[in-house]
């Protein structure tokens, strides 16, 4: 076991190194300049641009820049070019904002998908199965941003409540139950929205996995023993169908850091995904690369056991 | 069975918890739920963030929104667009006028005369009355004092480019021996003074004066330069209008420092200081001097007649004690920067301003919000709101949603939404015409646009009402000339061009254009053909481009169109006057000064009269409007100028846009009378449609009140 772990860690480290090189190259070779050194930006004089380039080693060859960047990253000194704040601190703050969205969304997805998918599998071809299939494909095919806008417009015009952002603007002086509940309310739409998409996909997997298992001998045996349908499906069949989902669960870890770019942007949620997106638009290299590196680490960590 | 139950109950409970929070959140109808402070706070929204909170340096609308709340000017405009005093309690305009005595010219009935004799002549004439010459009499009546300035000698040094070596500068020493000069003090500004006086002195008296005689330069310069120096240093006549402001006593800045005349002079100097790169410098260039007479009186003397100058004193006044050289040096040292290179532009003042306006600056979170708090010591009584929030929301749909949810108090309605939202009983709505117009401009240097009949015909072929109905959803009005429609300067007697394609064809036929066998208009074998251009990225202009092309095609004109990227459009086409016709818009100020856009001297590359409009009478009127301080006369001149431009049709004036804004119905005007009774009144817009004119008296109530009928 130990030797397996050791080999795996070494392999992943090599992969990580290549990921870091490739992502560094892609970002630096992409067209466009950081807004602070863009000669087209009227806010900056040529002297300022030059000073900036020096300060951030942009005048050095790429491999030195690479070394500088990873030296700073591992000593925790990387700063964002936009506001000179520590990148790790920024990521941590935004991560905490994204976390509730992620947790609620994940719980909803990974609970509801199972009963929905299993029922579909049991009554395969029935009215329930057909309508569930239809709904699932509908939700998968509607673009997320469109669905989000429809939902926002519906809720706002019918209930006249604020839904955008993490909290109601200007709710500073209220009592704490109001503040907490306000936050919970703002969590509702984006997390449910994220979950519906997840449920639509995952319940399809559950259905097909269950279908495969339901035809097995031991399920028939269990039924023949006279076990209740609940026990047959949720104990004997489900346990055997679960295996691929363990892998899938490992793969949602990077979603923690990527967040949901679209949902966070539409709801003005100050989370990770939106930060990364805005950093890309502003060519804030240190921030992009750090987010990229951390998510690469998470992907590899999620798959370390196989 | 437990697994199944868990899988169903856990998400159900989570969703229920999420849903019940609805009952805790403030809704549009109950904005005070959990947050009673909401009624004392006004929340506005903007697409872009402010850039610099200093009225002398800012140039974007978000910054000026904030600046107008934090800073206060000497004057501003009241509901009817007349000036009213703010930091100034009153002001007076008078004039000092000068002319040089020319002893070589014969004066009718007097012969060659010196200063004393001329003064006597004027005094006599004043007594006599000259009832037969009403203009002369009016000018003479304005003269309060006449004095003689003795001859004087002085030297001026000018740095010019060395003609032999472009890079080096050479010094020119100019010695001036100026003759006697006569100074008038006039009770009002009179641009016709010298024109009228020449009835007394002979028509040539002022025109024949040669300043060159009194100059000697070292080294010698050519005649053209000498004449230029003479015109500047020894002008035959000179008007120096002067503005005297009496300032309001005991006004304080937000930090408690008392405002006085020094701050006014400092604000002026800050704008003129080249280190600060103020975008307002052109407005104040005609100022000769700002004199502090006593702490509550300041006099501004102008180099020449320039009536738009009065309006420039609406500029927010800066606190001298926080921004003078000493303060800036201290700040530079504190920040460890070079004190000599450190200017007002670098000061942290621009992110935490201090003025004497109704609101005190509190906080600015970039790209999120700017927060202001009311100033309890405001001289005009503190505002009713405790706090003013300026949110930055770049997405219009988000703004709209936030408005419906009650977390923004006003929303600028887009044209296609007007019909629906204007009648919504939950909101109060305001509309008005904007201060700008869209037009098609013709390059009058090129054929066939040099013929006014062609320009008129092109205008008549376009159905402007249809454009307004279908492109603007009815949110526009037609217009006929270059003045702001709500002001007196706009001549409402002029009818807009009718939509009349047949009439257009007739006009074109008069100009020699006839339809050929294929249906195209032709003159001397040449097809009527040109290119209409505009900038890309503006959907309205793009739509008009297609409509105009189609309308002109129907009467047989072959029009090509082109959309150009904004910078290419400006630099390559507009600035170089390399176009046939273009679609563009102007936004205007209230001042009727049209010099830059319509004067014939402004037709060169990079100037704004790019259509090449030249009209002698219009030129004359433009100058007169600029120099006239009397409102009624100005209006008369403007109406005449409007008439000329409408007749010449250098532009086809298309439309002026209309805006609509909606506001929470519970926002009202609150007034407390002397007995302490509170009255609530409905918000009414001013003549120009400005609904936030009484913003300081606004307050939000828990429920929309019923109003007493207007008596």
Q: Give the Cα separation of B548 and B651 in Å (integer).
A: 14
User: Would you say residue B710 has pLDDT above 60?
Assistant: no
Q: Judge contact between B561 and B533, C-beta under 8 A.
A: yes
Separation in Å, CA of B662 to nearest CA in chain A: 16
Interface of A with B in 47-86 (CB under 8 A): none
Q: Judge contact between B580 and B446, C-beta under 8 A.
A: yes
User: Would you say residue B21 has pLDDT above 60?
Assistant: yes
Largest separation between any pair of C-alpha atoms in chain B: 126
| One domain, residues A81 and A107 | no
On the 0-12 / 13-18 / 19+ scale of CB atoms within 10 A, B264 is buried
Q: Is the CB of A176 inside 8 Å of chain B's CB atoms?
A: no
Tokens of A135: 């709904």
Q: Is the CB of B52 inside 8 Å of chain A's CB atoms?
A: no
| One domain, residues A131 and A223 | yes
Position B49 scores a pLDDT of 84
User: Which candidate from B15, B25, B397 shows the least CB-CB separation from A162?
Assistant: B25
Interchain contact, A171 vs B35, CB within 8 Å: yes
Is A276 part of any domain?
no
Interchain contact, A149 vs B14, CB within 8 Å: no
Interchain contact, B21 vs A228, CB within 8 Å: no
Position B59 scores a pLDDT of 79
**Cβ-proximal residues to B215 (8 Å cutoff; 6+ apart), any chain:** B174, B175, B176, B226, B229, B230, B233, B234
Interchain contact, A185 vs B15, CB within 8 Å: no
CA-based nearest residue in chain A for residue B404: A160
The 10 Å Cβ neighbour count of residue B651 is: 25
Alpha-carbon radius of gyration of chain B: 31
Interchain contact, B14 vs A104, CB within 8 Å: yes
Interchain contact, A115 vs B4, CB within 8 Å: yes
Q: Is the CB of A240 inside 8 Å of chain B's CB atoms?
A: no
| One domain, residues A235 and A102 | yes
Comparing CA positions, the residue from B581, B650, B641, B637 lying closest to residue B609 is B650
Tokens of A181: 């509940």
User: Which candidate from B1, B34, B36 shows the least CB-CB separation from A230?
Assistant: B1
Interchain contact, B407 vs A169, CB within 8 Å: yes
| One domain, residues A230 and A296 | no
Q: Is the CB of A177 inside 8 Å of chain B's CB atoms?
A: yes
3-state secondary structure of B171: strand
Q: Give the Cα separation of B404 and B410 in Å (integer).
A: 10
User: Which candidate from A104, A156, A170 shows the least CB-CB separation from B404?
Assistant: A156
**Cβ-proximal residues to B154 (8 Å cutoff; 6+ apart), any chain:** B175, B176, B178
| One domain, residues A73 and A200 | no
Q: Is the CB of B373 inside 8 Å of chain A's CB atoms?
A: no
CA-based nearest residue in chain A for residue B41: A170
Is A277 part of any domain?
no
Tokens of B11: 């998400």
Comparing CA positions, the residue from B76, B49, B75, B73 lying closest to residue B63 is B49
Interchain contact, A174 vs B22, CB within 8 Å: no
Comparing CA positions, the residue from B102, B100, B101, B76 lying closest to residue B87 is B76
What are the tens digits of pLDDT across the range B121-134? Answer: 888 888 877 767 78
Question: Phi and psi for B112 in degrees, rounded to 5?
Answer: -70, 130
- In B, which residues are within 8 Å of A178 by CB distance? 24, 33-35
Tokens of B387: 């706090």
Q: What are the angstrom distances between the C-alpha of A171 and each of A134, B32, B41, B406, B605?
A: 42, 10, 11, 12, 55
Comparing CA positions, the residue from A297, A112, A127, A119 lying closest to residue A196 is A112
CA-based nearest residue in chain A for residue B8: A112
CA-based nearest residue in chain B for residue A110: B7
| One domain, residues A133 and A232 | yes
- In A, which residues are within 8 Å of B29 by CB distance? 160
Position B711 scores a pLDDT of 39
Average the pLDDT over B154-177 and give the result.
Answer: 77
Interchain contact, B401 vs A156, CB within 8 Å: yes
Most confident of the following: A289-303, B144-158, B548-562: B548-562
Please provide the size of chain A in residues: 306
| One domain, residues A150 and A260 | yes
Averaged confidence pLDDT in chain B: 89
Sheet of B698-700: strands edge to edge? B678-681, B667-672, B698-700
Average the pLDDT over B375-382 and give the result.
Answer: 92
**What is the phi-psi region of residue A138: left when phi exceeds 0, alpha when psi lies from -120 to 50, beta otherwise?**
alpha
Interchain contact, B22 vs A108, CB within 8 Å: no
User: Which candidate from B1, B11, B397 shows the least CB-CB separation from A108?
Assistant: B11
Q: Judge contact between B319 and B270, C-beta under 8 A.
A: no
Interchain contact, B407 vs A168, CB within 8 Å: yes
Interchain contact, B15 vs A108, CB within 8 Å: yes
Interchain contact, B3 vs A104, CB within 8 Å: no
| One domain, residues A213 and A68 | no
User: Would you say residue B115 has pLDDT above 90?
Assistant: no
**Cβ-proximal residues to B10 (8 Å cutoff; 6+ apart), any chain:** A107, A111
H, E, C per residue of B99-136: EECCCCCEECCCEECCHHHHHHHHHHHHHHCCCCCHHH
- The CATH number that domain B1-71+357-410 falls under is 3.40.190.10
Q: In B258-417, at which residue ranges do the beta strands (DSSP E only) sit?
A: 287-294, 297-302, 359-365, 369-374, 387-392, 410-413
Question: Phi and psi for B120 in degrees, rounded to 5?
Answer: -60, -40
Q: Is the peptide bond before B448 cis (omega within 30 degrees of 0)?
A: yes
Interface mutation vs chain A, best among B14, B40, B363, most A CBs within 10 Å? B14
Q: What percent of chain B has pLDDT over 90?
A: 47
Q: Give the Cα separation of B453 and B471 in Å (integer).
A: 27
**How many independent structural domains does chain A possess?**
2
- In A, which residues are within 8 Å of B398 by CB distance? 164, 268
ipTM score for this prediction? 0.83
Q: Is the CB of A239 inside 8 Å of chain B's CB atoms?
A: no
Domain boundaries, position A200: 93-266
| Beta-sheet pairing, B427-442 with B581-587 | antiparallel
Cα B547 off chain centre by? 31
**Cβ-proximal residues to B110 (8 Å cutoff; 6+ apart), any chain:** B117, B121
Question: Phi and psi for A271 in degrees, rounded to 5?
Answer: -105, -175
Comparing CA positions, the residue from B463, B555, B551, B457 lying closest to residue B507 is B457
- In A, which residues are within 8 Å of B21 by CB distance? 181-182, 184-185, 188
User: Would you say residue B395 has pLDDT above 90?
Assistant: no
Q: Judge contact between A268 and B399, C-beta under 8 A.
A: no
User: Which candidate from B18, B369, B398 shows the least CB-CB separation from A164?
Assistant: B398
- In B, which residues are within 8 Å of A192 by CB distance? 15, 18
- How do the domains of chain B map onto residue ranges? 1-71+357-410, 94-242, 436-659
- In A, which residues are within 8 Å of B364 by CB distance? none
CA-based nearest residue in chain B for residue A227: B1
Q: What is the dihedral of CA A280, A281, A282, A286, to 10 degrees?
A: 0
Position B387 scores a pLDDT of 92
Interface of B with A in 1-30 (CB under 8 A): 1, 3-4, 6-8, 10-11, 14-15, 17-19, 21-29
- pLDDT of chain A, 306 residues: tens digit per residue: 788 888 888 988 999 999 999 999 988 887 777 766 655 555 556 666 777 777 777 778 888 888 888 888 888 888 887 777 788 888 888 888 888 988 999 899 999 999 999 999 988 889 999 999 999 999 989 888 898 899 999 999 898 888 888 888 877 667 788 888 888 999 999 999 888 888 998 999 999 999 998 888 988 898 899 888 888 888 888 888 888 888 788 777 766 666 678 888 888 888 888 888 888 887 888 888 998 888 888 888 877 765
Is A271 part of any domain?
no
Q: Judge contact between A111 and B7, C-beta under 8 A.
A: yes
Q: Is the CB of B157 inside 8 Å of chain A's CB atoms?
A: no
Residue of A52 and B433 predicted with greater confidence: B433
User: Which candidate from B3, B10, B401 shows the least CB-CB separation from A107?
Assistant: B10
Burial B53-76 (b: 16+ CB within 10 A, else e): bbbbbbeeebbbbbbbbbbbbbbb
Please name the residue that has the structure tokens 């207007």: B710
Please name the residue that has the structure tokens 């501003």: B76
Residue B509's pLDDT band, with cuts at 50, 70 and 90, is very high
Helix axes A285-302, A62-74, angle to 10 degrees: 60
- In A, which residues are within 8 Å of B10 by CB distance? 107, 111
Q: Give the Cα separation of A165 and A175 in Å (integer).
A: 19
User: Would you say residue B76 has pLDDT above 50?
Assistant: yes
Q: Give the Cα separation of A15 and A7 in Å (integer).
A: 12
Q: Give the Cα separation of B659 and B474 in Å (integer).
A: 11
Q: Is the CB of B341 inside 8 Å of chain A's CB atoms?
A: no
Average the pLDDT over B63-88 and give the result.
Answer: 92
Q: What are the angstrom distances between the C-alpha of B593 and each of B439, B600, B651?
A: 19, 14, 18
CA atoms within 13 A on the CB side of A197: 17
Comparing CA positions, the residue from B438, B447, B436, B435 lying closest to residue B612 is B447
| One domain, residues A118 and A226 | yes
Give the A:B interface size as CB pairs under 8 Å. 121
Interchain contact, A182 vs B17, CB within 8 Å: no
| One domain, residues A204 and A58 | no
Average the pLDDT over B434-448 and give the result.
Answer: 92
Based on DSSP, count helices (H) and strands (E) in chain B, helices before strands: 20, 30
| One domain, residues A68 and A194 | no
Helix (H) or strand (E) holding B656, with range, is strand B651-664
Q: Which CATH architecture has domain B436-659?
A: Roll (3.10)
Q: Is the CB of A104 inside 8 Å of chain B's CB atoms?
A: yes
């Amino acid at each position: 076991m130990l030797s397996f772990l050791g080999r795996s860690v070494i392999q992943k480290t090599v992969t990580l190194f290549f990921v870091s090189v490739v992502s560094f190259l892609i970002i630096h070779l992409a067209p466009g300049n950081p807004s602070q050194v863009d000669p087209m930006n009227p806010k900056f004089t040529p002297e300022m641009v030059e000073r900036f380039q020096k300060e951030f080693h942009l005048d050095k060859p790429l491999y030195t820049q690479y070394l500088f960047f990873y030296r700073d990253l591992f000593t925790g000194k990387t700063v964002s070019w936009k506001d000179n704040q520590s990148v790790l601190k920024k990521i941590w703050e935004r991560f905490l904002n994204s976390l509730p969205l992620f947790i609620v969304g994940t719980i909803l997805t990974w609970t509801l998908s199972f009963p929905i998918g299993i029922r579909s599998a049991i009554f395969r071809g029935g009215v329930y199965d057909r309508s569930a299939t239809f709904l699932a494909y509908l939700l998968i095919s509607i673009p997320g941003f469109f669905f989000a806008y429809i939902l926002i417009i519906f809720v706002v015009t019918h209930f006249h409540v604020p839904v955008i952002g993490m909290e109601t603007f200007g709710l500073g002086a209220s009592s704490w139950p109001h503040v907490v509940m306000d936050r919970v309310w703002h969590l509702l739409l984006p997390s449910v929205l994220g979950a519906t998409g997840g449920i639509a996909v995952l319940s399809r997997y559950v259905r097909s996995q269950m279908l495969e298992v339901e035809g097995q001998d031991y399920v028939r045996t269990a039924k023949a023993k006279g076990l209740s349908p609940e026990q047959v499906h949720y104990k004997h069949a489900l346990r055997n169908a679960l295996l691929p989902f363990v892998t899938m669960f490992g793969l949602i870890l990077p979603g923690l850091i990527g967040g949901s770019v679209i949902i966070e942007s539409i709801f003005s949620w100050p989370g990770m995904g939106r930060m990364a997106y805005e950093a890309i638009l502003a060519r804030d290299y240190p921030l992009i690369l750090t987010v990229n590196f951390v998510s690469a680490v998470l992907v590899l960590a999620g798959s370390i056991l196989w | 069975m437990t697994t199944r139950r868990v899988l169903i109950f856990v998400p159900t409970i989570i969703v229920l918890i999420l849903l019940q929070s609805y009952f805790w959140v403030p809704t549009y109808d109950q904005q005070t739920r959990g947050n009673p402070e909401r009624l004392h706070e006004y929340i506005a929204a903007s697409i872009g963030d402010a850039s610099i909170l200093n009225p002398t340096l800012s140039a974007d609308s978000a910054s000026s929104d904030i600046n107008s709340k934090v800073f206060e000017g000497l004057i501003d405009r009241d509901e009817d667009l007349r000036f009213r005093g703010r930091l100034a309690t009153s002001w007076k305009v008078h004039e000092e006028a000068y002319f040089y005595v020319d002893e070589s010219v014969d004066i009718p009935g007097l012969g060659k005369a010196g200063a004393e004799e001329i003064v006597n002549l004027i005094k006599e004439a004043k007594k006599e009355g000259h009832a037969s010459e009403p203009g002369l009499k009016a000018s003479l009546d304005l003269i309060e004092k006449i004095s003689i300035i003795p001859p004087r000698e002085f030297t001026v040094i000018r740095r010019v480019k060395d003609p032999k070596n472009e890079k080096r500068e050479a010094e020119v020493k100019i010695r001036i021996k100026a003759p006697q000069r006569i100074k008038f003090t006039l009770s009002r500004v009179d641009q016709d003074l010298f024109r009228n006086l020449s009835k007394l002195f002979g028509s040539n008296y002022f025109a024949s004066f040669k300043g060159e005689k009194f100059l000697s330069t070292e080294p010698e310069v050519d005649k053209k330069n000498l004449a230029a120096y003479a015109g500047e240093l020894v002008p035959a006549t000179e008007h120096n209008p002067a503005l005297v402001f009496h300032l309001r006593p005991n006004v304080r800045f937000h930090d408690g420092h008392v405002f006085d005349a020094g701050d006014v002079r400092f604000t002026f100097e800050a704008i003129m200081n080249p280190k600060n790169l103020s975008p307002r410098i052109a407005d104040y260039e005609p100022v000769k001097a700002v004199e502090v007479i006593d702490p509550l009186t300041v006099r501004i003397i102008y180099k020449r007649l320039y009536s738009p100058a009065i309006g420039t004193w609406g500029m927010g006044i800066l606190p001298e004690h926080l921004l003078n050289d000493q303060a800036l040096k201290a700040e530079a040292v504190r920040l460890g920067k070079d004190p000599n290179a450190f200017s007002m532009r670098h000061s942290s003042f621009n992110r935490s301003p201090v003025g004497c306006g109704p609101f005190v600056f509190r906080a600015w979170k970039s790209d999120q919000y700017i927060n202001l708090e009311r100033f309890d010591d405001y001289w005009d009584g503190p505002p009713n709101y405790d706090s003013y929030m300026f949110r930055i929301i770049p997405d219009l749909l988000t703004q709209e949603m936030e408005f419906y949810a009650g977390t923004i108090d006003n929303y600028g309605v887009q044209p296609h939404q007007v019909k629906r939202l204007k009648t919504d009983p939950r909101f109060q709505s305001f509309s008005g015409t904007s201060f700008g117009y869209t037009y098609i401009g013709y390059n009058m240097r090129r054929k066939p646009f040099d013929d006014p009949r062609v320009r008129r015909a092109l205008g008549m072929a376009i159905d402007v009402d249809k454009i307004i109905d279908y492109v603007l959803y009815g949110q526009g009005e037609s217009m006929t000339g270059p003045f702001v429609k709500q002001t007196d300067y706009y001549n409402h007697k002029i009818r807009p061009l009718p939509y009349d394609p047949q009439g257009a064809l007739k006009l074109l036929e008069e100009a020699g254009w006839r339809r050929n066998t294929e249906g195209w208009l032709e003159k001397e074998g040449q097809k009527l053909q040109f290119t209409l251009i505009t900038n890309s990225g503006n959907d309205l202009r793009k739509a008009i481009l297609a409509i105009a092309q189609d309308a002109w095609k129907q009467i047989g004109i072959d029009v090509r169109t082109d959309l150009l990227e904004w910078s290419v459009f400006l630099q390559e086409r507009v600035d170089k006057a390399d176009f046939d016709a273009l679609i563009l818009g102007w936004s205007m100020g209230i001042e009727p000064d049209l010099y830059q856009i319509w004067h014939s001297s402004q037709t060169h590359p990079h100037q704004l009269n790019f259509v090449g409009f030249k009209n002698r009478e219009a030129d004359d009127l433009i100058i007169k409007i600029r120099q006239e301080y009397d409102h009624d006369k100005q209006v008369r001149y403007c109406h005449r100028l409007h008439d000329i431009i409408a007749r010449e049709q250098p532009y086809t004036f298309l439309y002026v846009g209309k805006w609509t804004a909606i506001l929470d119905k519970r926002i009202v005007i609150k007034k407390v009378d002397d007995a302490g009774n509170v009255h609530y009144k409905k918000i009414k817009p001013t003549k120009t449609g400005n609904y936030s004119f009484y913003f300081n008296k606004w307050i939000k109530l828990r429920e929309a009140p019923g109003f007493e009928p207007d008596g």
